[in-house]
Amino acid sequence: MQIILIQDVNNLGGANEVVTVKNGYARNFLIPQRMAVEASPSNLKQLEERLKQIRKKEEKMLAELNKVIAALQAGPITIGAKTGTSGKIFGSVTTVQIAKAVREQKGYEIDRRRIHLVDEIKELGSYKAKVDFGNGNETEISLEIVAE
């Protein structure tokens, strides 16, 4: 029997997939538990429409993501840090400070856990950091550390 999965089912498939299972498994477990529906022509049409809407959302999100990446690569992000007389920073620059600087200078909210520092920032100068947006979308941003 062919069914359309409504949610992810272990060892069977993900949501919005059409799979073939035994009749008893579908009728006695998957359909009553609201994990799946029968793959009738009308349900297949609904699935097709749902997948089309999901694709549109993904395209829209990808366009927005490309806009954010372009804005981040447009110029370096300047971060002020307290320094001693030798140019060394008291402490170090963290991803929290970088996320705050991106929000203030570029206008985009980026989660600090998505920012990865290439090397530790302990002195004034130029550095690089990577921002991972997921699904293989990542960019490298330039950081300019200056004295306050």
Q: What is the pLDDT of residues 50-108, one digit of tens each?
A: 999 999 999 999 898 888 888 888 889 999 888 888 878 888 888 999 999 999 998 88
Task: Check residues 86 and 41 and name the one with the higher pLDDT.
Answer: 41
User: Any idea what the Cα angle at residue 92 is, between residues 101 and 116, rounded to 5°?
Assistant: 60
Instruction: Report the range of poorest mean pLDDT among 11-15, 85-89, 142-146.
Output: 85-89
> Which domains, ranges and CATH numbers included, belong to the chain?
2-61 (3.40.5.10), 67-147 (3.10.430.100)
Residues 6+ apart with CB under 8 A from 34: 6
Helix (H) or strand (E) holding 65: helix 41-73
Torsion of CA 58, 62, 68, 71, to 10 degrees: -160
- For the record, the structure tokens of 103 come out as 């929000």
